[in-house]
Amino acid sequence: MRKKQKKTCHIQISVLYFSLKQSFKEFDIVASNNDISNVDAGRQVQDRLLDVAEELFCEKGFDNTSVRDITARAKCNVAAVNYHFGGKEKLYIAMFRRYMNKLISAQIENIHKVMSADRPTLEQLLETLVTSGLRSLTGSSGEKPLLMMMVREILNPHLKNAVVVDEIIGKFLRVLSDAIVRLCPGLKPDAGLLCVYSIDGLILHALLFSNYYYKYCPNLKLDDLIGHIVRFTAAGIRAAAEEK
């Protein structure tokens, strides 16, 4: 009788053990799912804050945009900026880095596409870059406010140079400079980099002063402007390559 009771007791303990084990497994799964859900929710809030910050910094600039402006439009708690980013300045840095990474990654991809083709030419490379840079003038890309924000940052910086130049723009400068030197073998590396600065200067000037371009050249079309910059720049680069 005692043996039977012992056996029954062991069975009950075993059943209880496996029942508890299963319960803990289910608890872990629920907890894990909750963790994933919380992470996803946190990322959604971060993305919303970044999107709204981009809009407001473009509209009003860094100094005229408050944390309350951002959180009100993003429909977040006023403490969300500090919680997710550590303050307005770090949110600005994160927003700027996201935009610049997107912009530069697209440009680098365009360069690689041109350079991977059979017998790429300098004109093909320049046309790709200039077209991509000036597409905001059509008014359909929505990039002009972002580019204007970048210009404001250059004129009145709120970022450490390392964030923009070393991490992001530096890579683009190297890739484009190497591509230009490859297409113009006589060009020295330093001269290649100066050519990149010249290209950027022409694109930036056209973006900043497009109203004057069309005011004094009313019949000017975007394709004509792109073609002019490509021809002008290609001639200058080849002239630099011939220098001794």
pLDDT at 166 over 80: no
Stated pTM of the model: 0.74
Closest CA to 46 of 20, 18, 12, 81: 81
Residue with tokens 């600039």: 61
pLDDT at 126 over 90: yes
pLDDT at 18 over 90: no
Residues in Cβ contact with 128 at an 8 Å cutoff, skipping those fewer than 6 apart: 110, 111, 113, 114
Domain 89-242 has CATH 1.10.357.10: yes
- For 2-81, CATH number? 1.10.10.60
Q: Which residue has the higher pLDDT, 158 or 143?
A: 158
What average pLDDT does range 214-235 have in this prediction? 94
Contact 168, 100 (CB under 8 A): yes
User: Domain residues of the chain, as ranges?
Assistant: 2-81, 89-242
Cα separation, 11 vs 23, in Å, equals 18
Residues in Cβ contact with 80 at an 8 Å cutoff, skipping those fewer than 6 apart: 45, 49, 71, 74
Task: State the pLDDT confidence band at 34, using cuts at 50, 70 and 90.
Answer: low
Backbone phi, psi, residue 193, to 5°? -70, -40
What average pLDDT does range 83-107 have in this prediction? 90
Least confident of 32-41, 188-197, 206-215: 32-41
Q: Which residue has the higher pLDDT, 25 or 237?
A: 237
